[in-house]
Chain A
Amino acid sequence: MANLNIDSEKNRTYDAIVIGSGISGGWSAKELCERGLKTLVLERGRDVQHIKDYPTTNMNPWEFEHRNEVTYQLKQDNPIASKCYAFQEATEQFFVKDQEHPYVQEKPFDWIRGYQVGGKSLLWARQTQRWSDFDFEGPARDGFAVDWPIRYADLKPWYDYVERFAGISGDKDGLPELPDGEFLPGYPLNVVEKYFKQTVESKYPERKLITARCAHISQPQPIHIQQGRTQCQNRTLCERGCPFGGYFSSNASTLPWAAKTGNMTLRPDAVVHSILYDEDKGKAIGVRVIDRNTKEEIDFYAKLIFVNAAAINTNLILLNSRSNRFPNGLGNDSDTLGKYVAFHNYSARIYAEYEGLLDFKTEGRNPAGGGYIPRFRNLYKQETDYLRGYAAGFGAYRSANSDRSGLGVDLKESLLNPQLGNWGVGSHMMGETIPKVDSYVALDSNQKDAWGVPLLKISIDYDDNDEKMKKDYLDTMEEMFTEAGFTNIRRDDRWQAPGLDIHEMGGVRMGNDAKTSMLNKWNQMHAVSNVFVTDGACMTSTSTQNPSLTYMAFSARSVDYAVQELKKGNI
């Protein structure tokens, strides 16, 4: 028996374990496997293989039973998931259903999750802007959170590296607040977006409107062809999974690449319970998993552990990894674990019409979605009564409409002969929020999920800073819309719960000081040298840029460091 156990343990031992197969876990896996490490990738959900497991990807609208509408029952059963813009009849298979994975909302929080191989990388909005030193220096300059232990120069080569592989389209705009990258050709702004750009930039020289940078292959390079991916076909049906691999996902890109090395073992249906810590070694030795289907408990072992479970679930796993040495969660000497969680303020939009340029229309579909206004508020110095600022999306569209008031032959004629109307324009805000000690996630002391893992309590909220910023966004956009001659301006001062932005970050923050942060400048735990966190949980502050590209860069950089340290015998 003893020998059998040893053999069995040997079979469950790898060089490295990656927890999670989403956008950051896929990168960790790829980088580890390429460096020759036998790597186990644990995914709590089912397997989703590129193309083969995209059941709706080539369906036409009439082939959907409900024409892509979510049924009443599905909506009733999923009040949270169904708030997400991407939750449709065509995509619902990639979203976590509310009832299957409950959590405790001490304050309203719409937690949107994708439990499958590839995670939310199948569903993301694919916007990829780099951070700059205006972001990394933010906490130190404005006196919140703790200073980032890195600057843009530390991350720049890794942005270059991941962009080349992932395929990022964009223009070189030469903006210090939004550094240029290794871009494929950008998707040009349409005629009204260009008009608004000219209006804004001539009237307000410090404000810019650029084409949105996104993870779409506008012009495939050999590295993309080698991945089996090809040019984006402008379908904009991305959330169904793309048969062309036109946008970046773990499923289309990093995971198959990692698999090709022969070093990856991918284990779906593996719910991570906790990370195992050995007090004598002073290191993590492995990961405890509960099989999703059989509920069997299995321990896996490795020298290196990368935690990429997605921001909030990474917090959950670390909080649940308790030992004598770390009674309040793995590596939590600073008592900051689960705290200083923040997100992006997406709670305002503004719409209008434009009655000019009516001799133009658009054809086809733009995967980039239009324009992007980088943060201009408080950039070089503090100038408003709130801290930080916001970026904004901007898009113009012109659709053909028909008069639907009639009945019979008149209605039919009208439906079959739609007329181009005015241009519609719209913008949404993406505001930086301030991480606070009282914005936290914690384990519920009583309730557990179906796999014996404590439920997570979430307590995250807006504050006055967010309210002031929102008002400024709406006032400022309204002013610019008016300046551009847009009409029928509608401010949409909606309230939406934190979480629906799907940019939750923090709880396991980076910092120079082990007394006030969890991770060092290499995303390595201050207190446990062989555990690395490179997903959204590591974020010290949130910036205004969509964060996924930064997680990719962190993952690649961190693996490079970890493997060097491992070889030197420091880990």
Chain B
Amino acid sequence: MIATSCSNDSKKASIELQNVDLSAEDEALLKQLVEAIIPETDSPGAAALNLHLFVMKMVDDCHSPEDQKSFLEGLKAASKISINNTDQALAYLQGLEKEDAFMRILKRRTIQGYLNSEYVMKNKLIYELVPGRYDGAVKINA
């Protein structure tokens, strides 16, 4: 297990992870960060859709140890800044380099989780499990 801090007394994250050790504070910070990427508007944002938990799950299961290390380093760096609301989180993320590994993973997974969320797939960009049709020449009404 790799972790953002070496202290053992912090509270654990709310979901069980196998490879990365995240604390409740890490989770809270990630919640601010994902909400900054996809905020609540007239429809739910990333926090309400629990995308911080999705990001944690994907980092834990679907990334290489190198990626996990980069992610934890990025998270640790963010934790040293005072981020108490979405605006501060957004400002922090906007200050990161485009190529920042932490940012790249966080953003990619947040977007993936959002577009594949039950909410979006049922209410916004409708997913059809059973299309029952194929039309290869649908005229678009301009």
Residues of A that sit less than 8 Å from B by CB:
58, 60-62, 65-67, 69-73, 187-191, 193-194, 233-235, 237, 359-367, 404, 407-409, 411-412, 415-416, 418, 420
Q: Is the CB of B133 within 8 A of A404?
A: no
- Tell me the minimal C-beta distance from A214 to chain B in angstroms: 12
Cβ contact within 8 Å between B134 and A404: no
For chains A and B in complex, what number of residue pairs have CB atoms within 8 angstroms?
115
- The answer to whether A363 and B57 touch (CB under 8 A), given A62-B116, A412-B39, is no
Q: Which residues of B contact A70 (CB under 8 A)?
A: 62
Asked whether, in the complex, the Cβ of B125 is within 8 Å of the Cβ of A364, the reply is no
CB distance from B129 to the nearest CB of A (A): 6
By the criterion CB–CB under 8 Å, are B58 and A66 in contact?
A: yes
| Contact (Cβ within 8 A) B62 A72 | yes
Given the contacts A60-B127, A233-B132, A404-B111, A360 and B137 also touching, CB distance less than 8 Å: yes
What per-residue 1/0 map shows which CB atoms of B33-76 lie under 8 Å from chain A? 00011110101010000000000011001111000000000000
Question: Knowing A71-B61, A407-B36, A415-B38 touch, does A58 contact B129 (C-beta < 8 A)?
Answer: yes
B140 touches A360 (CB 8 A): yes
In the bound complex, do residue B131 and residue A235 qualify as a contact, i.e. CB atoms below 8 Å apart? yes
B contact patch SS: mixed
Q: Which one of A190, A404, A408 lies within 8 Å of B136 (CB-CB)?
A: A190
Task: Judge whether A409 and B39 touch: CB under 8 Å.
Answer: yes
Question: Quick check: A191 and B115 within 8 Å, CB to CB?
Answer: no
Since A194-B136, A233-B130 are in contact, a sample of 17 more A-B pairs with Cβ atoms closer than 8 Å, ordered by chain A residue number, is A58-B129, A65-B61, A66-B57, A67-B112, A69-B58, A69-B62, A71-B62, A191-B136, A359-B140, A360-B137, A362-B134, A362-B136, A363-B135, A365-B134, A407-B107, A411-B111, A416-B43
Q: Give min CB distance, B93 to chain A, whole Å.
A: 6
Nearest CB in chain A: distance from B37 CB, A: 6
Residues of A within 8 A of B58 (CB): 66, 69
CB neighbours (8 Å) of A234 from chain B are: 130-134
Q: Beyond A69-B62, A72-B63, A360-B138, is A233–B36 a contact (Cβ under 8 Å)?
A: no
Bound form: Cα–Cα A361–B136 in Å: 7
Tell me whether B16 is interfacial, beta carbon within 8 Å. Answer: no
Which residue of A72, A189, A190 is within 8 Å of B61 (Cβ)?
Answer: A72
Closest 5 CB pairs of A and B: A190-B136, A364-B133, A364-B134, A191-B137, A364-B131
Set of chain A residues within 8 Å of B128, measured between Cβ atoms:
364
Smallest Cβ-Cβ distance to A191: which chain B residue: B137
Q: Give the distance in Å from the alpha carbon of A550 to the alpha carbon of B28 in the complex.
A: 59
Asked if B117 is at the interface of the complex by the 8 Å CB criterion, the answer is: yes
B81, CB-defined interface residue at 8 Å: no
Q: Is B118 an interface residue (CB 8 A)?
A: yes
| Nearest CB in chain B: distance from A183 CB, A | 17
Could you tell me the distance between the alpha carbons of A416 and B41 in the complex, rounded to whole angstroms? 12
B75-92 interface code vs A (CB 8 A; 1 in, 0 out): 000000000000000100
Query: How many of chain B's residues have a CB under 8 angstroms from any CB in A?
Result: 44
Bound CA span A541–B127, Å = 43
Pairs across A and B, CB under 8 Å, 17 listed: A62-B116, A71-B61, A72-B61, A72-B62, A189-B136, A191-B137, A194-B136, A194-B137, A363-B138, A364-B134, A364-B135, A367-B134, A407-B93, A408-B36, A409-B41, A411-B111, A416-B124
List chain A residues, Cβ under 8 A from B140.
359-361, 420
The answer to whether A67 and B116 touch (CB under 8 A), given A60-B127, A408-B37, A409-B41, is yes
Residues of A within 8 A of B107 (CB): 404, 407
Picked from B112, B120, B133, B142, the residue with its CB within 8 Å of the CB of A359 is: B142
- Are B116 and A61 interface neighbours, CB within 8 A? yes
Return chain B residues, CB-CB under 8 Å to A408: 36-39, 90
Chain A at the B interface: mostly helix, strand, loop or mixed? loop
A188 touches B136 (CB 8 A): yes
- Given A235-B129, A362-B134, A365-B131, decide whether A60 and B61 contact each other with a Cβ distance below 8 A: no
A72 touches which one: B64, B93, B112, B116 (CB < 8 A)?
B64
**B11 lies within 8 A of chain A by Cβ:** no
Asked whether any CB of chain A lies closer than 8 Å to the CB of B94, the reply is yes
Whether A416 lies near B125 (C-beta < 8 A) is yes
Q: Which residues of B contact A73 (CB under 8 A)?
A: 61
CB distance from B68 to the nearest CB of A (A): 9
B125 touches A363 (CB 8 A): no
Which partner residue on chain A sits nearest B54 by CB separation? A67
Query: Given the complex of chains A and B, what is the CA–CA distance between A363 and B131 in angstroms?
Result: 9
Min Cβ gap A237→B in Å is 8
Closest A residue to B134 using CB positions: A364
User: With a CB–CB cut-off of 8 A, which chain B residues contact A62?
Assistant: 116-118, 121
Which A residues touch B142, using CB under 8 A? 359
Which of A65, A360, A407: most chain B Cβ within 10 A? Answer: A407
- Known: A60-B127, A234-B132, A359-B142. Is A407-B137 also a contact (CB below 8 A)? no
Residues A67 and B134 in contact in the complex (CB < 8 Å), given A72-B63, A72-B64, A235-B129: no
How many Å lie between the Cα of A408 and that of B40 in the bound state?
9
Q: Does B114 contact A (CB under 8 A)?
A: yes
Chain A: minimal CB distance from B87 (Å): 9
Chain A residues with Cβ below 8 Å from B37 are 407-408, 411
- Residues on A with C-beta less than 8 A from B64 are 72
**Nearest B residue to A188, CB-CB:** B136
CB distance from B130 to the nearest CB of A (A): 5
Contact B57 A415 (CB under 8 A): no
Q: Are A412 and B41 neighbours in the complex by a CB distance under 8 Å? A: yes
Residue on B with the closest CB to A405?
B98
Which residues of chain B are near A363, meaning CB under 8 Å? 131, 133-135, 138
Instruction: Select the residue from A359, A366, A416 with max chain B CB neighbours within 10 A.
Output: A416
A327 to chain B, nearest CB (A): 49
Q: Which residue of B lies closest to A192 (CB)?
A: B136
Least distance between B123 CB and chain A CB atoms (Å): 10
Q: How far is the CA of A387 from the CA of B116 in the complex (A)?
A: 48
